[in-house]
Amino acid sequence: LQEIVDNPQLFVEGAAANDVTQGILGNCWFVSACSALTHNQALLKKVVPDAAGQEWTDKNNYCGIFRFCFWRFGKWIEIVIDDLLPTRDGKLLFARSKSSNEFWSALLEKAFAKLYGCYENLVGGQLADALEDISGGMAETINVQTQLMKDQSDSSGKLFQTIKAAFDQQALIVAAIAAKNKEEIEEILECGLVKGHAYAVTAVRFVELNSQTRSFLFFTTRDRQMMIRLQNPWGEKEWNGPWSDGSQEWEQVADAHKKEFGITVEEDGEFWMPWNEFIRHFTDLSVCQLFNTSWFSFGPKFYEWKFFGEWKSNGAKQGSRNDRAGGCINFMATFCCNPQYRFDVDIDGSEVRFALTQKVKNEGEKIREPLVTVGMHLMKVEDNRVYRIHQAINPEITSDYNYGRSVYLHCQNLRQGRYILCPTTFAPREFAQFLLRIYSERNIAPRELKQDAPGRGLCSCKKVNSVARITVVGVKLNNKNEAVRTYVVINCNKEKVRTRTAEGTEVVWNQCFIFYRSDMTFKFLIELVEDRAIHDRILGVAHIVENVDNDTRSLEYDIVAENHPIGTLNVTIQSYDDPMFL
């Protein structure tokens, strides 16, 4: 580096988004991620460890090597490089800083190239991968138009609030304009934006305008403009529409605010855009969330769980008991052979996030083995299931299937109950190792299901031979004038389960439970219980005897109290002579 400039430095006056400029390499996906990284100084210190100790100073014994850290498959790994950088005529060919003697971005790019095998492998990569590599976060790609179509009521404002909240929580965000074909890549639009190109998001905020709008009799509120600031990794080619650098719209903003926002007329690649123009031109947002898992810090707290798994055959035939590579839901015969993870949602409206990452098989090598297409499928299952499921039921949500390293699933408004998540490859018999990460603000207690059915107990030599699924559809009470809070208790073979509490004379639960037996007869004692502040009271009971018939039946039973019916119970029962049928 001292052959390039006389006074090389790792950082010159710290790191800023417009420090990083793309070179001749087609890796705007990585350069934009680096620009976004400067938004989170704590994370930058993790990626560039001991920056002060790696600087060119008299007290440091400079030996021509640098250390950088990247997140890979659940852990941070260190990459060590020398200080030789590709140049032509004494100038850097690839990433560079706007200060000619600042080299952190060029050295970071070289370390990243070593991680990927060579500089050539950095051409045309995935935004989400770069964000994940430099943060260890969970990267979600949002299609702007798809997101806006989901909610017609102020969907633009809601998306802005979502992105602003993520940015304020230190998320790394990169925006892109998709190119429809190769010819459109790096096509410069009349508005100054570039197709097939990635831009780092460096600010998301409301801008107060000088004009005032009266909203109440004695109160006034200022008009606010939703704004987003972006950085072009080229260091040039900026937005030239409304609210661009030097445009007349900025006359509506006080000089103090302009100074705060850093408004300049320089062609440095950084510019502001109004949100309505942003969603009109940009097609995708890659948002890399960093979840706060420390209970000793401020802000929302998240539980985190990590599971390392593998899609493999275990030497078994396709679709057999030990096969763990069943493919997606399209392959119904083998789908349930995949790894399965169960968790519990304790309140309606819960939110859970999943990230599935497959392991790169020959990391750091120039020639890379292809990845497999992966995704996730979520099912709502019986509330008491503790064994693997053998027939897919109640599909809740399926992620996109992605031919890439990672896929993301964001589940919102989940209902109370038990769920099973299946990480899968697209086709059966595709093999790879994976990492499943789960984040939730509530303790959903996830665990992997490994056992197919109950085994023989310590005190019993009887083998389990049958299975039944009972769905408590609802209850209809005869007394229409007295709405009570009730729940149902099911007793079967020394096992006791219950539904949620509900209020009314006609209650619908639609809750499922599963039971196993060594014989071919299921006997259910069902109690209707009033939920009271002190000492719950049994209102009535129903007795069900079900002989296994390998069928599904919808039934209605009287609920009896002191030999008098007080209402009716509706259930659906499925019973089979194979304990691994359901």
Phi-psi region of 180 (alpha: psi -120 to 50; beta: other; left: phi over 0): alpha
pLDDT digits (tens, 9 = 90+) for 37-81: 888 889 999 999 988 888 877 666 778 889 999 999 999 999 999
pLDDT digits (tens, 9 = 90+) for 482-516: 778 999 999 998 899 999 999 998 999 999 999 99
Q: Residue 198 burial (CB < 10 Å; 0-12/13-18/19+)?
A: buried
Share of the chain above pLDDT 70, in %: 93
In one-letter notation, the amino acid at residue 413 is: N
pLDDT over 80 at 150, yes or no: no
Start-to-end C-alpha separation, the chain? 66
Specify the pTM. 0.89
Place of tokens 């599963």: 514
Could you list the active site residues? Answer: 28, 197, 232
Rounded mean pLDDT of 284-300? 84
- 320 vs 133: which has the higher pLDDT: 133
Note the Cα 43 to chain centre separation in Å: 20
CA distances from 474 to 418, 502, 503, 508, 568 (A): 19, 10, 12, 4, 9
Which tokens belong to 330?
A: 């399209």
> 56, 88 in Cβ contact below 8 A?
no
Rounded mean pLDDT of 362-380? 88
Rounded mean pLDDT of 278-283? 92
- The per-residue pLDDT for 382 is 95
pLDDT digits (tens, 9 = 90+) for 335-348: 999 999 999 999 99
> 326, 334 in Cβ contact below 8 A?
yes
User: Angle, to 10 degrees, between the axis of helix 28-37 and the axis of helix 104-116?
Assistant: 130
- The per-residue pLDDT for 180 is 84
Burial 68-78 (b: 16+ CB within 10 A, else e): bbbbbeeeeee
The closest alpha carbon to 507, from 525, 531, 524, 491, belongs to 531
pLDDT digits (tens, 9 = 90+) for 194-205: 888 889 898 898
Q: Identify the DSSP state of 129.
A: H
CA distances from 61 to 33, 48, 55, 100 (A): 31, 18, 10, 23
Note the Cα 128 to chain centre separation in Å: 11
Rounded mean pLDDT of 166-189? 87
Rounded mean pLDDT of 533-542? 92
- The per-residue pLDDT for 461 is 63
pLDDT over 70 at 457, yes or no: no
What ranges make up the beta strands (E) of 426-520?
432-440, 447-449, 466-477, 484-492, 495-498, 502-504, 506-517
- The per-residue pLDDT for 81 is 93
Q: Average pLDDT of the chain?
A: 87
- All structural domains of the chain, each given as residue ranges with its CATH number in brackets, are 17-127 (no CATH), 140-289 (3.90.70.10), 303-449 (2.60.120.380), 466-576 (2.60.40.150)
pLDDT band, very low/low/confident/very high, at 458 (cuts 50, 70, 90): very low
- The per-residue pLDDT for 6 is 78
CA distances from 185 to 173, 235, 279, 348, 467 (A): 21, 18, 19, 45, 57
Residue 116, classed as helix, strand or coil, is: helix
Which tokens belong to 492?
A: 């079967």
